[in-house]
Structure 1
Amino acid sequence: MVVERGRTGGSAAVGAACAALVLATLAAVAGCSGPGVVAAADVSEAEVREAAEALVRAGTSRVSTTVETNSGGTRVTIRGTGVFDYGKRTGRLRVVLPSEATGEGEHRPIVELVTPGALYMRNRGAGVPDGKWVRVDTTTLPDGNLVTGGATDPVSAAELLRGARSVSFLGEERLRGETVRRYRGTVDLAAAARAADRMWREQLASAAEGFSGRAVSFDAYVDERGRLRKVRHRFVFPPSVGTPGDAPGGSDGGRGGEVSVVSTTVLYGFGVPVEVELPEAEDIYTGRIATP
């Protein structure tokens, strides 16, 4: 048994004009190309890329997730809640699958334990005996488990941002009573995989090969301490990858074309106690998983 606990060059005139615009409003600098704009973009990009390290310093938090899929005109929303320890890269989620995702009536919430390189699922269904866990090697999943498990866990969501490109500052907003800075840009999946924490590198490398494009658009919300408070990623992948909630095994989530997925991860309640207890070997099901 493993128990993990935590609390854990433009001319001078152009440059001057653009610097003035930056001071007036960051939202208006898109039309300028002087050094002031480059500096502002560098600051935005750096803050987004460093969000993963800021979470490690923060220790732990609560998290809520939403994954919305659109395949062949059919929309499905999967929701989850849980807690994570960012120092140990482990967490627990309770994921609720709607009937559209299961093809059944009511489905018990799936309990997921997230660890580096592996996902443990209980109440998986699909022929898995009650009370048994399924262990999935996330480095073998075509999407690196960014959406297949029905959630984008906060560690993966933050690690993705290490590959942030073309970041723009959209202004400040209020989120759960706190001021946050909103950024928009794209993630280069291959670059994210190269820059990721070593425990997440192989997983993100799988994602870089599995999605339809190398770039994933995002909106990220960062608080005054540099902590990621909310992030929304927009994924596009071939139907052969399978739809969220299908792991392991997958299904053809949209034979007529690509599947689009919008995944939103919200972080709050920093400093909450976190305990993740991994299942014993005899509690892990190794038999056949039914697939549609």
Structure 2
Amino acid sequence: MAQRQQRRWGTAVVAGLVAGVCAGAAGCAGPGVGVEDDRAADPVETLRRAADALVAAGSSKARTSMEMATGGTRVTIRGEGVYDYRRQLGRLKVVLPQDPAGTTEHRPIMELLAPGALFMKNRGAGVPADKWVRVDTATLSDGNLVTGGATDPYAAAEVLRGTRSATYVGRSELAGTEVRHYRGTADLAVAAKGASVGGRDALGAAAKGFATAQVPFDVYLDDEGRIRKVRHRFSFVNGRQKEAVAVASTTLLYDFGLPVDVRLPASADIYAGRIAEE
């Protein structure tokens, strides 16, 4: 029963994020072509190790942007927060755009990210304002790469463990930091096999749930191999309208090594009632 409720919740979140809202889109690109060092010589292996470099860094701040396009409507959802890569715990504040008429303000959604779980507060759907909803990410057809409106920063990195092909584009600068730009394609099924214990089931669900397990990406690494920016392009089928939905998820990571204190909600603060369909 709880598992069916979680699946309905995940579907409701995706449908609610996509329907009836418009916003502009932003792209990214990095100039430069060249061959430099071992990272450039073997981009596939370099990218498969990018998640390990984040664990070595310990923590960072994160900014996210998720653009969805379906039926001529484009939605942009933004988030900001912190992440502890060693504990795989994060906290994000996710902001939805206004309705097309500009009359409805959406309260920011507070999200806590943990191995195998997503906690959401202020999401509506009949949930009391002071309660959290817990979702098992392995029960979501996208493994929470899309459902929460922001891709979990560590999950974004672990997608690169499934890198099948990649090319080194060249050096560029991002927010004052020298970075190397790579472009390639990852396979979610391969990523799931190489992922951490906490992320394996969720990525496995995404490999089966998306329209294709192949994920094109652009990623920028600093000289320590840490992800500074990664942009994935996902594709899934909206369960209600049966329309293909294109999603571009961008994650920016910065201020590595800062103290991060993420505490998961107590059981008494987690909503156990019925979640309304949106």
TM range (shorter): 0.7 to 0.9
Distance 1:59 1:158 in 2: 14
Structure 2 gaps, min length 5: 1-32
The answer as to 2:234 corresponding to 1:235 is: yes
Distance 2:106 2:34 in 1: 49
Provide the secondary structure at the position in 2 that maps to 1:62: strand
Provide the secondary structure at the position in 2 that maps to 1:275: coil
Partner of 1:94: 93
Distance 2:39 2:221 in 1: 16
The answer as to 2:260 corresponding to 1:274 is: yes
Shift in Å, 1:26: 4.1
Distance 1:176 1:40 in 2: 21
Q: How does 1:125-204 map to 2 (within 5 A)?
A: 125-204=124-203
TM-score by length of 2: 0.84
Distance 2:34 2:247 in 1: 32
**AA of the residue aligned to 2:155:** S
**Equivalent residues of 1:76, 1:100 under 8 A apart:** no
**AA of the residue aligned to 1:288:** R
Say what the alpha-carbon RMSD is for the aligned residues: 1.9
TM-score by length of 1: 0.80
Equivalent pairs: percent with the same residue? 57
Distance 1:274 1:175 in 2: 24
Residues 28-69 of structure 1: per-residue CA shift (max 9 Å, x gap): xxxxxxxxxxx9876111111100000000000000000000
Compare CA radii of gyration and give the structure with the larger one: 1
**Equivalent residues of 1:41, 1:167 under 8 A apart:** no
Distance 1:88 1:236 in 2: 29
**Equivalent residues of 2:181, 2:219 under 8 A apart:** yes
**AA of the residue aligned to 1:167:** A
Partner of 2:15: none
Structure 1 gaps, min length 5: 1-23, 28-38, 241-251
Distance 1:265 1:74 in 2: 22
| Moved >3 Å (runs of 4+) | 24-27, 39-42
Shift in alpha-carbon separation, 1:189–1:135, aligned structure 2, 3 A: same
Q: How does 1:55-74 map to 2 (within 5 A)?
A: 55-74=54-73
**Equivalent residues of 2:34, 2:168 under 8 A apart:** no
Shift in Å, 1:256: 5.8
